[in-house]
Structure 1
Amino acid sequence: MAGTTISIDTGGTFTDGFVVHNARAHSVKTLTTPHDLLVCFRAVLEAAADSIGVSVSELLESTDVVRYATTVGTNQVVERTGPRLGLLSAEPAGEAAGVGVFIDPEMVSELAEGDDAAAQSLSKIRDLLHRGARGLVLAAGPGDDGSVVAAVSETFLDNYPRHCLDTVPLLTAGAVVPDADVSRRTATALFNAYVHPSAADFLYRAEDHLRSLGYRRPLLIVHNDGGAARVARTIAAKTYNSGPMAGLLGAREIAGDYGIDTLVTVDMGGTSLDVGIVSDGVVRMLEHGLVAGVEVSLALPQLEPFGAGGGSIAWLDGDVLRVGPRSAGAHPGPACFGLGGAEPTVTDADAVLGILRPEAFLGGSMPLDVEAAHRAYQQLAEALGRSVTETAAQVRASLHRETGRQLAEQLSAWGIDPAGATMLAFGGNGPTHCAAIAAAAGIGDVLVMPYAPVFSAYGASTVDIVHRHEAPAGQAGEDDTRARLQAAVLRDMRGEGYRAEQVQIEVSSSTRDGSDYVSVEGRYPLPRASSEAPAGAGAASAARSAGIFWDGHGVLPTAIVERDALPTGFTLTGPALLDGAASTCVVPPDWTLTIDERGAARLRRIHSGENRS
């Protein structure tokens, strides 16, 4: 067992930390700083050290591993802030995948072929560089045996040596992931080239920050294929959706612990809600992922994003109330955060209704401005002809109803019966809204782990160092292919600092797009935290009660209990609010709650005719 492990996940609104120190788990949350992610990276380390009662340097001195799931690649795509790229492609500009998303059509030139391909291509490269290309992608056609790519690459390096300031990186399509499909491998190379500069700059700065504080091990980056690698061995494209993937990996651990066949993951943060599936112990993956609507060669987790988060803004579409998809995000954030937000959000509705209380939010470290939340809802309430309280309740009900409907439709499309599934709710807002969304979707069983608000950071703590290489099985003899792939895997593992005898090797075969592939995976197991967390000891403290307005019920006496004090076997019937250090778990009317032996809250819906006592 490790002395200390630190796992961090940067989301759209909050950056979360899950730290195990001296066999005790600590969860921390800080606001994400989109202008510079290093600021929130530093802040979460400081918050973790404060929760333990040591300095950051003292914490890092005892730390065996730091894992990080980051949004840097995702942000680059969403914000369209990647570098200006140039593409030499055997395909016409209008047919090359990713053009218009990762690259301007005017920055595409036709790749020459034949004996003078290198000389002709050099002229076109010069033209692309003169037009401002800060990265180049070289994409040969299906008939190229590699000679054209090799010739052009060699000529480029001869004329633009890497030690000169005027050089730019050149990436060949297929270098990231082998793929027989020309369009997909071109799109994958463009995608990787698009996110690479920002990812490299930020992740090295984050690692340098750790080293400046005395940490001597590499920073490990969680990848969207389920493994992790040090910064120097990370492929930028694999940082895309690394946070959501970490959450799914954590869910896989929970599904195994509980013996759950179908686990529906609902990750609701401040900006969005992501739905994924763990089925029979396996995270569902897309064979070819989609990035900004473009199909790429990388397998990506099967996630369906909904525009429903704590920062989702309520608005009128004519006389119809809508919630989201526009979000207040981390800045300015909901009005009750006091950071300049003025529009009515879901979190503001929770504050107006008393579901989130100013003195309890984030363990009291971030008091809420409830009056600002009321002001944000005033105009919308007047337009609806209702009170601010009634309007806030209507916003919550609208969010739950619409999100539940979307969830039920998505599960049906995936061939899943909601009635036979268990929902695992996490993220800062998952516990607050999960039961109502589950009810609207037809799910009657919800699981909320003690560390649900930082669950993706917990998921990151379960990840091992993994390197995987694959190739078409028919390229050479099967034994030769496996040997070549294993050599590549062991090379990567040497780069991580591990000898061949320390690496677990697994060889597998698969069929994709009608072609057979051989894959070799190398794994080095890392220290990880147990998914179990002790429940509170002894009897629960006396519950307070407050009158809370529940849509469809009016004002009801609502129990308010401290989440961390609840012992194993504790039960109650809603309505109730469970105050935790980083979130509030809501038990609506017609739901029951039980604290199990792992400290998890198990919420079950009461159907008509059942005993409510």
Structure 2
Amino acid sequence: MLINIDNGGTLTDVCVVDGSKVHYTKTLTTPIDLSECFFEGINKVAKDMYGEDGFIKLLQNSSLIRYSSTQGTNALVERKGPQIGLITDEEDLTERLQKTKAEKQMFKSLVGERVAHLTTSNDKEKMDISLVKAINGLTTAGAERLIVAVADPEREKQFKRFFLLRFPRHLLGSVPVLFSSEFTTDPCRERRIWSAMLNTFLHPTLSRFLYSAESRLRAHKVKNPLLIYRNDGASSRVAKSVALKTYSSGPRGGLEGTRALAQGYGFEHVLMIDVGGTTSDIGAVDNLRIVAERRGKIEGITTSFELSDVRSYGVGGSSIIRVVDGKITVGPESVGAAPGPACFGFGGKEATITDVNLLLGILDPDTYLNGELKLDLQRARQVIQENIAEPLGVDFDDALFLMQEAYAAKMAASFGDWVREGGETVLAAFGGGGPMNACHAAEVAGIKRIIIPRLAAVFSAAGISFSDVA
């Protein structure tokens, strides 16, 4: 029996595969404590399978528990993560790290001005003083995590020895430090440092939850370890997982499922679009091969690791729709699960496509999440009237259709470059918001054929079942 969990920014999907039977559910993501939605989702599906006391039975009967998450992806898309400080002995390193537009934008968001230069000297006392000054200066400037990138790996090891003497873990507090030469053996220095910075940014999103969840599973006498599903399609234990490889790990499950669809229906070129709460994730299967790169990219930044070519865009079911300078904008900022779209009734004050779909009758207010969450039509109407219709000076119905058009255009732009001429491309639409929104976007992009799988709502979680274990 396989338990697959796909943790999204707004909803968490749980899919249990028991031979030919599939059981699944959704639960609201709890961003403050991800273990709550993790265990709540398992508990919900266990009740469906075994009744009220089925939780322990499901856990102990499972042969694998695999977990994927878009939390890191969403944090990067929204630029919500730790402030990073960079320590180096090369004056031109920051320039070399910012050769492209994507690199300049990412560096500005992750590091900004938090760069300290070490003194070039063979005098150990001067090296020691230089390192202390750099660390103190960056932490004072707000750096929450530090990267040390020294040109000579042996010299970097020397700085590490000074660091461990001067700043034992219990004295430095909660400011982790990563030495770039230890993270990966990639011979390309710039690529290695970028990988270290991205990993450092993504790491805290999951680290606390994963070790907590593993501990709670052991308390329930679960023998098999929690496995982290990765972007390369394999799964590994928590202690052996690299945060950077969890980037778009959920959509990789969707790609595995998309490949199975392509094989079953004889499609040559299939685009997948997995529409979650915060992002839409795009990938491709070409002649039954998942498109991947030896040196994978994250938002246009080349890394040291092989990654599937999944691109995440800030356009999801909870992406904020606003009027800026007289025009409708969509995302990348999201309301997430808390407070969520206005129609959730949790105090949300921003308009989203979920509110639009509710008011257009695409969503049933009484059956959302199997009726567990009653959607608030009045609240959805109020935020759209105040935030969209009135600023644009249009009536309410026109506002709804303008929002729908803007959303479709933003989504179509995310996968337009992938579409092949001649009608060869098929779009596989899934995720919580995929089937509701993809048809309009496909029309804009010129795609004439769309497939919506039966398990569309939890398809990325279900797709993990087609993957290997490392």
Superposition TM-score tier, normalisation by shorter sequence: 0.7 to 0.9
Residue 26 (str. 1) matches residue 19 (str. 2): no
Contact 1:425–1:446 (CA<8 Å) still a contact in 2? yes
In 2, Cα distance between equivalents of 1:169 and 1:315: 37
Aligned position for 2:348: 341
Q: Deviations over 1:500-547 (max 9, x none)?
A: xxxxxxxxxxxxxxxxxxxxxxxxxxxxxxxxxxxxxxxxxxxxxxxx
Alpha-carbon distance change, 126 to 405 in structure 1, aligned in 2, over 3 angstroms = closer
In 2, Cα distance between equivalents of 1:383 and 1:76: 30
By relative contact order (CA 8 Å, sep 6+), the higher-ranking structure is 2
Aligned position for 1:122: 128
* CA deviation after TM superposition for structure 1 residue 66, in Å: 0.6
* CA deviation after TM superposition for structure 1 residue 357, in Å: 1.1
Q: Deviations over 1:183-215 (max 9, x none)?
A: 121222233234334533221112112222232
Residue 463 (str. 1) matches residue 467 (str. 2): yes
Aligned position for 1:421: 425
Residue 215 (str. 1) matches residue 222 (str. 2): yes
Q: Deviations over 1:399-445 (max 9, x none)?
A: 3345335533x225xxx227111111011010112222222221121
Residue 241 (str. 1) matches residue 248 (str. 2): yes
Matches within 5 A, 1:79-478: 79-82=79-82, 84-92=84-92, 94-95=94-95, 97=97, 100-103=108-111, 105-110=113-118, 112=120, 116=122, 120-131=126-137, 132=139, 136-141=146-151, 144=152, 146-154=153-161, 156-157=163-164, 165-166=171-172, 171-291=178-298, 294-317=301-324, 319-379=326-386, 380-381=388-389, 388-404=396-412, 407-408=415-416, 410-411=417-418, 416-417=420-421, 419-466=423-470
In 1, Cα distance between equivalents of 2:209 and 2:307: 23
- For 1:12, what is the secondary structure of its paired residue? coil
* CA deviation after TM superposition for structure 1 residue 238, in Å: 1.6
User: What amino acid is the match of 1:448?
Assistant: I
User: What amino acid is the match of 2:23?
Assistant: H
In 2, Cα distance between equivalents of 1:123 and 1:251: 55
Q: Deviations over 1:112-149 (max 9, x none)?
A: 46xx36554333332234343765544343xx4x4334
Aligned position for 1:63: 62
Q: How many residues align?
A: 453
In 2, Cα distance between equivalents of 1:390 and 1:76: 33
Task: Give the CA RMSD over aligned residues.
Answer: 3.0
Contact 1:118–1:152 (CA<8 Å) still a contact in 2? no
Aligned position for 1:40: 37
Alpha-carbon distance change, 353 to 207 in structure 1, aligned in 2, over 3 angstroms = same
In 2, Cα distance between equivalents of 1:99 and 1:324: 21
User: What amino acid is the match of 1:7?
Assistant: N
Larger mean Cα displacement after TM superposition, 289-298 or 21-30: 289-298
Larger Rg: 1
Contact 1:74–1:240 (CA<8 Å) still a contact in 2? yes
* CA deviation after TM superposition for structure 1 residue 388, in Å: 3.4
Bigger proportion of residues as helix: 2
Contact 2:10–2:276 (CA<8 Å) still a contact in 1? yes
Alpha-carbon distance change, 26 to 339 in structure 1, aligned in 2, over 3 angstroms = same
In 1, Cα distance between equivalents of 2:389 and 2:167: 63
User: What amino acid is the match of 2:412?
Assistant: G
Larger mean Cα displacement after TM superposition, 187-196 or 380-389: 380-389
In 2, Cα distance between equivalents of 1:297 and 1:45: 35
* CA deviation after TM superposition for structure 1 residue 457, in Å: 1.2
Larger mean Cα displacement after TM superposition, 244-253 or 59-68: 244-253
In 1, Cα distance between equivalents of 2:240 and 2:183: 12
* CA deviation after TM superposition for structure 1 residue 111, in Å: 6.5
Residue 7 (str. 1) matches residue 18 (str. 2): no
In 1, Cα distance between equivalents of 2:285 and 2:422: 14
User: What amino acid is the match of 1:42?
Assistant: F
- For 1:244, what is the secondary structure of its paired residue? helix
Q: Deviations over 1:28-76 (max 9, x none)?
A: 1111222232222222122222222243222101111110112343355
Larger mean Cα displacement after TM superposition, 93-102 or 417-426: 93-102
* CA deviation after TM superposition for structure 1 residue 348, in Å: 1.4
In 2, Cα distance between equivalents of 1:383 and 1:99: 35
Moved >6 Å (runs of 4+): none
* CA deviation after TM superposition for structure 1 residue 82, in Å: 2.0
Bigger proportion of residues as strand: 1
* CA deviation after TM superposition for structure 1 residue 95, in Å: 2.8
Contact 1:72–1:239 (CA<8 Å) still a contact in 2? no
Contact 2:275–2:434 (CA<8 Å) still a contact in 1? yes
- For 1:422, what is the secondary structure of its paired residue? strand
